Amino acid sequence: MKEDIHETRFKNGLVVLTDRMPSVRSVTLGFFFRAGSRHEPDELNGITHFIEHAVFKGTKRRTALDIAIEQDRLGGTLEAFTTHEETGFAIKVIDDQLEAAFDLLADMLGGSRFDEKEMRSEQKVIIEEMKMTDDSPEERLGEIFSRAYFPRHPLGLSIAGTPKTVRTFDQAAARKYHRRMFKPANIVVVAAGNVKHDEFVKLASSMPFSTRSTPRGNNSASSANSALRTSPPKTAAPIVIRQNKTLEQAHLLLATPFVSGRDERRYAADMLAQVLGGGTSSRLWQKVREERGLAYSVGASSIMFADCGLFMVSAATSPDQTHDVVDIAVEEMRDVVSNGVTADELELAKQQTRASVLLSLEDSASRAAGLAQSEMLHGRQITVEESLRNTNAVTLEEVRAIAREFFCTERMAFAALGNLQGLKVNRKRLAI
């Protein structure tokens, strides 16, 4: 199933993208904003996530109940999320309901009332959400690690904020920040599925903030350059061990800096993460789980922001086995630095990636998300053909070069949470 991608750009910066899939009866509609928690001042930490919640609480035309009933009537699940670098709202509907779904989302995102009573109620909801995170050891460890790894930088702060900051988010604060950040220049509107681009552009033109401009081609100036400016983080190499005697397992993370999402080496970096811990045939899965039985789940992943990245190994094991898991992970990283990966390992990683990419083409939600991600990160569409070509071109030496650059003792970070009284992990144990 090939891509049939079209774009229209408006004078005020609004970008409209479609990917036509005429053989399906669904459409995934998405509004994506180039605004996330890393763009917030410290005193407003969490306000983007708060606004993501608040737009569901009513507009001048719809009550909160009206919004809930309408999304159920449309038959789709209206999903919303906030990350460090973006905020998104997406819904998958039958193709003949696209106009109704568009009207609903446009009204929520452009006409929210931010009712004072509703804002106070939502403060309580979000604080309860924070308590859920505190009760999840994996999520709690992630926040502990991020704060230590990105010291004095927004990437180290919780996306949801803190109870203290959230309690300050009233109607005035929400309206002011919404007006400042959720503006046309920061919006990418996408649709993937049985949709016609010209008709979709007409829907976008009906929004009160969409002054239309002459469409420009794919070689136009990068919209990514108009994204909100942020300062790149200076990362630390912390070793953090937190006690929680109520946990049966020790939850642990090993991390190093990695390439950014805009780095041309990202394809090689993904291959490296895939070989080490990307699936059940990966080195870490086989050695930690299958050979030694030390963990139910273990893996490695690459996390790529616009201007920096992370390679991360994660696992959960019995407290007295923590050193064993750490030693195996470090040894595998050390081996890749010294010897690289094998031709068979690289070929398997490429085949896994190819399958993942091609299978995602069958899902309108995946294709809509891909449209938005390419636009916001690169200012253009990276086609499936280009992505597969770049993946296939990755060499053994390129993978090893990534490991040699980023896997080094002084940059290794470690964090653990659990009943870990007496556990010690020093720089020598993390030596590459």
* pTM (2 d.p.): 0.92
Q: Specify whether the CB–CB gap between 159 and 84 falls below 8 A.
A: yes
The verdict on 200 and 246 lying in the same domain is no
Give, rounded to a whole angstrom, the gap between the first and last alpha carbons of the chain.
Answer: 44
The verdict on 186 and 282 lying in the same domain is no
The tokens describing 204, both together, are: 């976008």
Which pLDDT score, from 0 to 100, does residue 168 have? 96
User: Containing domain of residue 148, as a range?
Assistant: 5-213
The verdict on 246 and 163 lying in the same domain is no
Rg (CA), the chain: 23
The answer to whether residue 226 is domain-embedded is: no
The verdict on 100 and 137 lying in the same domain is yes
The verdict on 118 and 174 lying in the same domain is yes
The verdict on 10 and 148 lying in the same domain is yes
The answer to whether residue 177 is domain-embedded is: yes
Which pLDDT score, from 0 to 100, does residue 77 have? 81
The verdict on 206 and 244 lying in the same domain is no
Which of 148, 178, 213 is the last residue before a domain boundary? Answer: 213
Give the pLDDT confidence of 382-415 residue by residue, as tens digits: 999 999 999 999 999 999 999 999 999 999 999 9
Q: Is 40 a catalytic residue?
A: no
Which pLDDT score, from 0 to 100, does residue 1 have? 58
Which of 198, 213, 228 is the last residue before a domain boundary? Answer: 213
The answer to whether residue 225 is domain-embedded is: no
Q: Is it the case that residue 211 has pLDDT exceeding 90?
A: no
Which pLDDT score, from 0 to 100, does residue 212 have? 46
Average the pLDDT over 146-167 and give the result: 97
Average predicted confidence (pLDDT) for the chain: 93
Query: Which of these is catalytic: 3, 7, 40, 52?
Result: 52
Per mean pLDDT, which range of 142-151, 199-208, 376-385 is the poorest? 199-208
Burial 28-58 (b: 16+ CB within 10 A, else e): bbbbbbbbbbbbbeeebbbbbbbbbbbbbbb
What CATH number did the domain enclosing 97 receive? 3.30.830.10
The answer to whether residue 230 is domain-embedded is: no
Which of 154, 178, 213 is the last residue before a domain boundary? Answer: 213
The verdict on 187 and 315 lying in the same domain is no
The verdict on 171 and 248 lying in the same domain is no
- Specify which residues 188 forms β-bridges with: 15, 32
The verdict on 122 and 243 lying in the same domain is no
Q: Is it the case that residue 226 has pLDDT exceeding 80?
A: no
Average the pLDDT over 260-274 and give the result: 98
Which residue from 199, 254, 217 is spatially nearest to 381, judged by alpha carbons? 217
Which pLDDT score, from 0 to 100, does residue 223 have? 44
The answer to whether residue 178 is domain-embedded is: yes
